[in-house]
């Protein structure tokens, strides 16, 4: 079977609140046959259904339980539950979520009328570029979950299909494991939560645009796409700082922007 190239559509790129008419973290990955929603921040469901019928989703990945990454899971849950109740949909959708904080995990794991729930920490382990990761298969897509260093426990995600690869940083301070896991990726979708002048405030929790560029350079990423922007920043300034450390052109995620791999 001929596989199609992976396409990334940005549903939202703001954090921790969106700009007018836009959305927080949300991404749609498609390869022609499979549609995967990656993060479901505020407003992302309304953007999702502009691009795909939610009933066609194969899965949803939530990397950690900050609202700008998962608040709209409640929209998707109700939409699916309603569609299944009145016969417009038969199946549930695979939901990959972290186990901590346990209180939130328990609530989401209870949405069994809409989702088949997978605790990421209980997925099989696999070794990729000498990084121990949790792994899952979603049709043709292989998912690798790599622990982040952030306020909450969670995961960065590497997605591979044949020779194509996309790495999503989630929210994290730079770590050697993340650099190794992102090695040679076609597309590095990386948070850029601040300018260099704000580095002290973000230390140990997030990456600045400059650090995103450093990560892309160390990992020899083919393309760097910045995301997770504080709405008050000028995105061009973030891009300039990332380009300086990456040493090559950097792109910005934007509402409804589409990136095609490889």
Residues of this chain that interact with Zn ion (CB under 5 A) are 15, 66, 68, 171
End-to-end Cα spacing for the chain:
18
How far is residue 193's CA from residue 226's CA, in Å, rounded to a whole number? 9
Place of tokens 């609202």: 67
How far is residue 231's CA from residue 213's CA, in Å, rounded to a whole number? 20
How far is residue 102's CA from residue 259's CA, in Å, rounded to a whole number? 35
Residue closer to Zn ion, measured from CB, 68 or 72: 68
Q: Minimum distance between the CB of residue 244 and Zn ion, rounded to whole angstroms? A: 24
- Our separate counts of H helices and E strands in the chain read 8, 15
Q: Minimum distance between the CB of residue 96 and Zn ion, rounded to whole angstroms? A: 17
Q: Minimum distance between the CB of residue 64 and Zn ion, rounded to whole angstroms? A: 6
Q: Minimum distance between the CB of residue 231 and Zn ion, rounded to whole angstroms? A: 12
Q: Minimum distance between the CB of residue 164 and Zn ion, rounded to whole angstroms? A: 26
Residue closer to Zn ion, measured from CB, 114 or 227: 227
Asked if residue 252 lies in contact with residue 224, where contact means CB atoms within 8 angstroms, the answer is no
Residue closer to Zn ion, measured from CB, 79 or 188: 188
At 230 the three-state DSSP class reads coil
Residue closer to Zn ion, measured from CB, 66 or 160: 66
Cα Rg of the chain, angstroms: 17
Residue closer to Zn ion, measured from CB, 22 or 171: 171
Give the list of residues 6+ apart from residue 258 with CB closer than 8 angstroms, or none: 7, 8, 9, 10
């Amino acid at each position: 079977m001929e596989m199609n190239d992976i396409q990334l559509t940005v549903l939202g790129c703001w954090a921790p609140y969106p700009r007018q008419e836009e959305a927080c973290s949300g991404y749609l990955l498609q390869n022609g046959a499979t549609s995967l929603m990656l993060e479901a921040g505020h407003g992302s469901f309304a953007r999702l259904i502009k691009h795909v019928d939610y009933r066609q989703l194969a899965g949803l990945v939530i990397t950690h339980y900050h609202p700008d990454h998962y608040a709209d899971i409640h929209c998707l849950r109700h939409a699916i539950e309603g569609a299944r109740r009145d016969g417009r949909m038969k199946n549930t959708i695979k939901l990959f979520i972290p186990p901590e904080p346990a209180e939130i995990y328990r609530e989401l794991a209870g949405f069994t009328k809409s989702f088949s729930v997978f605790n990421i920490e209980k997925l099989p382990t696999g070794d990729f570029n000498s990084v121990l990761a949790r792994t899952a298969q979603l049709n043709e897509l292989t998912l690798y979950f790599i622990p982040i260093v952030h306020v909450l426990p969670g995961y960065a995600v590497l997605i591979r299909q044949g020779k194509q690869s996309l790495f999503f940083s989630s929210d994290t301070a730079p770590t050697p494991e993340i650099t190794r896991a992102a090695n040679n990726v076609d597309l590095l979708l990386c948070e850029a939560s601040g300018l260099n002048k704000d580095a002290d405030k973000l230390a140990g929790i997030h990456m600045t645009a400059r650090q995103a560029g450093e990560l892309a350079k160390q990992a020899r990423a083919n393309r760097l796409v910045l995301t997770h922007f504080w709405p008050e920043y000028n995105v061009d300034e973030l891009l300039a700082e990332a380009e300086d450390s990456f040493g090559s052109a950097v792109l910005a995620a934007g509402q409804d922007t589409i990136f095609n791999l490889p």
